[in-house]
Amino acid sequence: MKKNKEKRKIYILYTEKSEKEFLQLSQMTDKYEVFYKFINSEEMVRKILEKNKGK
C-alpha cells in the first residue's frame, strides 16, 4: 500500500507578532504545510472562527 506523501495543511492565526518565530520553530514541517496569518484584533479572530465553524 502506497502512503500518501501529501502534507496536511495547518492554518495558524496569531495575535502577537513575536509569536510567529516561536510557532515556526515548534512545527513539524516535514509532515505539515503551515500557513500563518497575523490578526491584530479580537474582532477579526471572532469573524474568522465564525466563518470557518464546523470545517
Where do the domains of the chain lie? 8-51
Q: 53 with 28: CB under 8 angstroms?
A: no
Non-local (6+) Cβ contacts of 11 within 8 A are 35, 37
Strands 8-14 and 32-38: what pairing? Answer: parallel
Q: Is the pLDDT of residue 4 over 70?
A: no
Q: Output the pLDDT for position 10.
A: 76
pLDDT at 41 over 70: yes
Mean pLDDT on 32-41: 77
pLDDT digits (tens, 9 = 90+) for 7-22: 777 777 777 777 777 6
SS3 at position 39: coil
Average pLDDT of every residue of the chain = 73
Q: Which positions ≥6 away from 23 have C-beta within 8 Å? A: 12, 14, 36
Of all residues in the chain, what percent carry a pLDDT higher than 90?
Answer: 0
3 state SS of 52: coil
